[in-house]
Amino acid sequence: MPEILSYDFMRNALLAALLVGAVAPLVGIFLVQRRLSLIGDGLGHVALAGVAVGVLLDNQPIITALIAAVFAGVAIELIRVRGRTSGDIALAVMFYGGIAAGVVIINRVDGSQSSNLTSYLFGAITTTSTGDLIVFGVLSAVIIGVTLALRHRLFLAAGDEEYARASGLPVMALNITLSVLTAVTVVVSMRVVGLLLISALMIVPNAASQQVARSFRSATLWAVLFGMLSAVGGVVTSFYADTAAGGTIVLLAIAIFLLVAAVAALVTVATAHRHRVSERHPHEHGPGCGHEAVPHGDHVDYVHGSHLHAPHGGHYDEHADHATYPGATDPSDQEHVTR
C-alpha cells in the first residue's frame, strides 16, 4: 500500500477530493453556458457568513453555510429576474457583505489568529472526518442525481431561455434549481479547495473540456474527468510536496487546461491539410442534391467532379486525399460537372 493510503485522514481526503472533483465541473458547465462563471465565487462569499454563524453558535458550520448559500442562490435568481441594473449592485452588496460579516464574526469568536478562518477560505482537506465524508457523500449524490435528471432542461434553459419559456418549461424553477445546486456544490467544496477557490474548480475543468469536446455531452464527461484528475492529483501532490491542498488542486487544474489547449492547438496545425477549404460553393450539398454521397468514417463526403467535399461547419473541406478519382484537375474547373 502506498504511504499516502496508510493514513486515515488521507484516505478521507482523497475520497472527498474525488467527490468534489466530479461534482464541481458537472454543475459548473451550466454556469459557463449561462456566462455566470463567477456566481460560485459570490455564493462562496455568502457561505462564509453562514460558517461564521455556525462558529458563533458552536453549531455545525456546514449546515449554517448550506442555509446561507442556498438562501443567496435563490436571492440571486429573484434579483436577476427583475432585470434592473440595480440588481447587479444588490448582488455585490450581498456577496461582500457576506464575506465581511464572516471575517468579522469568526475573528471575534476565535481571536485574530484564527486558523478556522483560513481553513474555510483556502480549504483544509486533511481535517475531513468520516462524519464529514458521509455528509459530503450524501450532498454529492443529491447534486449528481438532480443534475443528471434535469440536464437536458438545464441545458435548454441556460442556452435559450426565451425558447424554453415558449415551449412551456418552468424556466424560473430551473434557474433556481441551478442556483441551489451551485450553492450546495460550494458548501461541499468548501473544506476541499476553500471558499475563495471554489469557482476555479467549477470553471477551469470546463475551460479545458471545451478544447477537446464536440458535443455538450462529451464536454460534460471530459470536464468531470479533468476535475477528478486535478482534485485527486492535487491532494497527492500536496501530500508529497507538502503544499496547501486547495491551491495545489487549482494550479493542477490550470496546468491541465494549458496542456490541453496546447495539444488542441498542435492537433489543429497537424490536421490542417485535412482542412483545406474547398472552392466557394453555389449550393449546399445534401440528400438528393445531385452529388453522390459517400459515407466516410465519421462524416459524409460528396463527390464533386473529381474530388470530394466534406461538410465542415459552414463550409466544405477538400478531402482530396480519399478521392476515388486520382489526378483531379483544378477544382474550380469541375464546379458544375456533375449537374
Q: Which residues bind another protein (CB under 8 A)?
A: 29, 32-35, 149-150, 152-153, 155-156, 159-160, 162-169, 206, 210, 213-219, 282-290, 293, 298-300, 311-315, 339
Helix, strand or coil for residue 317?
strand
Contacts of 261 (CB under 8 A, 6+ apart): 208, 211
191 binds, among Zn ion, another protein, none (CB under 5 to 8 A by kind): none
In whole angstroms, how close is the CB of 155 to another protein at the nearest point?
A: 7
Between 191 and 285, whose beta carbon lies closer to Zn ion? Answer: 285
283, 289 in Cβ contact below 8 A? Answer: yes
Among 23, 40, 188, 317, binds Zn ion (CB under 5 A): 317
# residues near Zn ion by CB under 5 A: 13
Between 165 and 322, whose beta carbon lies closer to Zn ion? Answer: 322
Rule CB under 5 A: is residue 336 a binding residue for Zn ion?
no
- Return the C-alpha cell found at 81: 429576474
147, 154 in Cβ contact below 8 A? Answer: yes
Helix, strand or coil for residue 191?
coil
Between 108 and 336, whose beta carbon lies closer to another protein? Answer: 336
Between 1 and 269, whose beta carbon lies closer to another protein? Answer: 269
36, 152 in Cβ contact below 8 A? Answer: no
In whole angstroms, how close is the CB of 66 to another protein at the nearest point?
A: 24
In whole angstroms, how close is the CB of 299 to Zn ion at the nearest point?
A: 6
- Return the C-alpha cell found at 6: 496508510
250 binds, among Zn ion, another protein, none (CB under 5 to 8 A by kind): none
Measured CA to CA, the distance from residue 315 to residue 132 in angstroms comes to 53
In whole angstroms, how close is the CB of 17 to another protein at the nearest point?
A: 25
**Taken in order 144, 237, 192, 90, is the CA torsion positive or negative?**
negative
Give the angle 47-48-49 at the CA atoms, nearest 5°: 90
Q: How far apart are the first and last CA of the chain?
A: 70
Which residues bind to Zn ion, rule: CB under 5 A? 275, 278, 285, 289, 291, 296, 301, 304, 310, 312, 317, 319, 331
